[in-house]
Chain A
Amino acid sequence: MAVTGAVMVLFLVAHMAGNLKIFLGKDSFNEYAHALRTLFEPLLPYRTALTILEIVLVVSVLAHMWAAISLARRAGHARPVKYVAKKSQANGYATHIMRFGGLTIALFVVWHLLDLTFGVVNPKGFDSAPADRMVAGFDPSRWWVTLIYIVAVVMVGLHLRHGIWSAVQTLGWANRARYKALKGTAALVSVVLVIGFLAPPLAITFGVVK
């Protein structure tokens, strides 16, 4: 969970930084999308580096899901008889919705890929410039799409609020002296990612970016 999660967090940071290029203009955003495909050219052929990154990411997602399902199954086997009354004592809403949140995020990723990557559910379709797909996708008339993104991105933030420090704990790098800083960093990274990811769609929906 920890290692595959870390790969995905690194991806999210880069993804967020890339998205923010829309504020520098559509051309800047399209150039960035093009640059991803020509990464390390001519050392590597067109789209090779990006494809490698995509494979690493897909493997991470699948391994993360496999680990989560294994843990949930083990938990089920470990407690065949449920409690009549059960009250949580640890505080942390984020902790309790990890499994539900993960499922929600997985469904969102499918929608997200159909929307902005393959253009299947996007008004501009696949053969369009990435920036056009983005601006058209979050058009004010499609406010409900923006709403889906808000819910999903907040879910990602909550997932990472627990996930980031939990990963450090799993890898054995946490200790009493570091907990406060660790949980603070997890919260900060989550908040930055949520703001960074929501800024472009909200700016487009409210007409700041056209």
Chain B
Amino acid sequence: MNLTLKVWRQSGPQDKGRMVTYRVEDISPDMSFLEMLDVLNERLILEGDDPIAFDHDCREGICGMCGMVINGVAHGEQRATTTCQLHMRHFEDGAEITIEPWRAAPFPVVKDLVVDRSSFDRIIQAGGFVSVPAGSAPDAHSVPVRKEDADSAFDAATCIGCGACVAACPNGSASLFTAAKITHLSLLPQGQPERLNRAKAMVDQMDSEGFGGCTNTGECTAVCPKGIPLDTIAQMNADYLKANSK
């Protein structure tokens, strides 16, 4: 396959950045999107150019490191797929592909397609934990959990914190991420003692990081590689309202 790439290049946080056009040739349809970029980067290195910086780690779709806006869609148009699991066979030969980093003030660009997602870490630090009794592991069935709650909590817990929700949101809101983390803990017995404090602390941290507000557009859940459902946000709102009316 031969492709034309329009890639965001930005040498550092202070650089203004611009779109640069590259031609890539002889790309196998079986390559992943990141492997296609690897091919381009090898050529750029051989030519003495600076390779395109992008985040990646496991390349198995479970770590949440990779992520770029491909043709205007976070992680590309293939649903429920991280960029590393997106394969070139989903593109047409000769296609022109636009590649941009996540765009959000709380995700400043470090270089090219790499953004700093420390704001997510600070939201987790604000309350995304449970206080567990130290000591030996409890018996598996000592704390009963309803099947429905276990399923919903697990759905929320599949969030890999990639930030696609923020990238896709027209408001630049981190509600789906924060809601997934809140819901995953608030549906389980272990998460109950800190439930309301957690919701308040995490939502307040999210707001103070400079993310936008949620207007329920549903863009986040549409691009989420893990398909985190929108009702996690309702759960977060319920807990947050309860925490503030106490």
Contact = CB atoms under 8 A, between A and B. Distances in A.
A75 B98 contact: no
Say which size band chain B's interface belongs to: 35 or more
Contacts of A96: 217
B231 A80 contact: no
A124 B103 CA distance: 55
Interface string A160-174: 001001101111111
Contacts of A128: none
A112 B214 CA distance: 31
A90 B213 contact: no
Given A78-B106, A78-B171, A162 B72 contact: no
Given A89-B219, A92-B218, A176 B72 contact: no
A48 interface: no
B112 interface: no
A75 B237 contact: no
A94 to B, nearest CB: 10
A169 B171 CA distance: 17
Nearest to B239: A172
Interface residues of A, number: 36
A95 B105 contact: no
B212 A78 contact: yes
B173 A172 contact: no
Nearest to A71: B213
B161 interface: no
Contacts of A75: 170-173, 212-213
Contacts of A95: 215-218
15 contacts: A71-B171, A78-B172, A79-B104, A80-B105, A81-B103, A82-B103, A95-B217, A168-B234, A170-B214, A170-B237, A171-B237, A171-B238, A171-B241, A172-B237, A175-B235
Interface of A: 1, 70-71, 74-75, 77-90, 92, 95-96, 98, 162, 165-166, 168-176, 179
